[in-house]
Amino acid sequence: MKINLTNIKKAKKLLNKNECVAIPTETVYGLAGNAYSNQACKKIFQLKKRPKNNPLIVHYLNYRKLEKDCNFNDNFLKLYKKFCPGPITFILDLKKNSKISKIVTNNKSTLAVRFPKHPLTRCLLGKLSYPLAAPSANLSSKVSAVNSNDVKEDFGKKVKFVLEGGRSSIGIESTIVDLRNKPKILRLGGLEISSIQSALNKKIQINNNPSKVSAPGQYKLHYSPGIPIRLNVKKIKTNEAYLLIKKNKETKSNYFFLSKTGNLKEAAKNLYSTLRKIRGKNYKSIAVSKIPNKGLGRTINDRLIRASKF
Ligand code: TXA
Ligand code: MG
């Protein structure tokens, strides 16, 4: 990808003034601000209409830059070496003298950290003297943004600048793993659990039960396109959009396919943009055909279940 330095400079200038800028990542777009600045972090929460008790992920260029803010451990280093930069977020203990704004963590002693892979955002991070706090660049509880138009659709001119980085290649948020004690998955995401398990050489607990919320991304209503969703549907109702994992012979105007052949990576990449597309039409609800509950299919099902708690 060609790096447009004029745009990077513009983003840097705004961030240095404690403004928010939308940044591309390989998972979804983020709404970024200086993670060391209370003022910038407050703006992120206001723009997103995000509850204060839902902490933000902080994005770093590499682990060296993280050293002054968090304590590392062996599991972190193992996973970092294998998957970073990439679609994985770590929960670590904050260092006492860290400069991370208390607004980011809601005064907690832990921090969610991620090392995004997108070249533009990496270039930007390399030019800043602080890491970037960035939740997904969508209004709270709504469908995430996977390109610059999605961000503009949600925020209009309220977000001063969107760093144009094309379409997110993974299209679904990072996998969150809590590494403070025994590793635990807090949110299913773009990195498959089986890959994390084989890197650590052990089975990991998945703490994905919505009644035990430790990552508010686990709150029930989330990722919502604003109309009801029914899951595992074989027969649709009138005025319903039908979301299918793979293209079939019937091509009715209300049929939406997540992939050509049932490929789960492709389906994950298309999920949010397809939900946005359906939302822009006049359907009363969305019926979803069964999606295999394995690999990234688990992440897709997780998002659809939460989106269905309308
Ligand atoms: O792929 C991603 O992770 C994207 C891109 C922009 O990096 N970001 C993202 O952020 O999905 P957001 O804010 O939409 O989701 C962050 C999740 C929330 O569920 C939040 O509760 C959880 O991370 N989280 C943040 N800090 C935490 C902490 N200290 N302990 C547990 N969960 C935390
Ligand atoms: Mg989000």
pLDDT in tens for each of the 310 residues of the chain?
889 999 999 999 999 999 999 999 999 999 999 999 999 999 999 999 999 999 999 999 999 999 999 999 999 999 999 999 999 999 999 999 999 999 999 999 999 999 999 999 999 999 999 999 999 999 999 999 999 999 999 999 999 999 999 999 999 999 999 999 999 999 999 999 999 999 999 999 998 764 455 555 555 678 999 999 999 999 999 999 999 999 988 889 999 999 999 999 999 999 999 999 999 999 999 999 999 999 999 999 999 999 998 6
Cα 183 to ligand 1 centroid, rounded to whole Å: 17
Residues of the chain with CATH 3.90.870.10: 5-206
Ligand 2 centre to CA of 304 (Å) is: 14
Burial call 268-288: b when 16+ CB within 10 Å, e when fewer: bbbbbbbbbebbeeebebbbb
Q: Taking Cα atoms as reference points, which of 241, 192, 188, 196 lies closest to residue 215?
A: 188
Question: How far is the centre of ligand 2, averaged over its atoms, from the C-alpha of 97 (Å)?
Answer: 28
Whole-number pLDDT of residue 2: 86
CATH topology of domain 5-206: DHBP synthase (3.90.870)
- In degrees rounded to 5, what are phi and psi of residue 70? -135, 155
Ligand nearest to the CA of 56: 1
Q: Residues lining ligand 1, judged by CB closer than 6 Å?
A: 25, 27-28, 30, 54-57, 89, 91, 105, 108, 110-112, 114, 134-136, 173-174, 176, 186-187, 214-217
DSSP state of 141: T
Give me ligand 2 centre to Cα 86, in Å: 17
Q: CA nearest 286: which of 300, 296, 276?
A: 276
- Looking at residue 248, what is its pLDDT? 83
Q: How many CB atoms lie within 10 A of CB 309?
A: 15
The pLDDT score that the predictor gives to residue 217 is 52
User: What are the Cα distances from residue 252, in Å, to 22, 240, 256, 275, 287?
Assistant: 36, 12, 9, 17, 14
Identify the pLDDT of residue 210.
Answer: 47
Neighbours of 218 (CB within 10 A): 20
pLDDT in the model for residue 309:
82
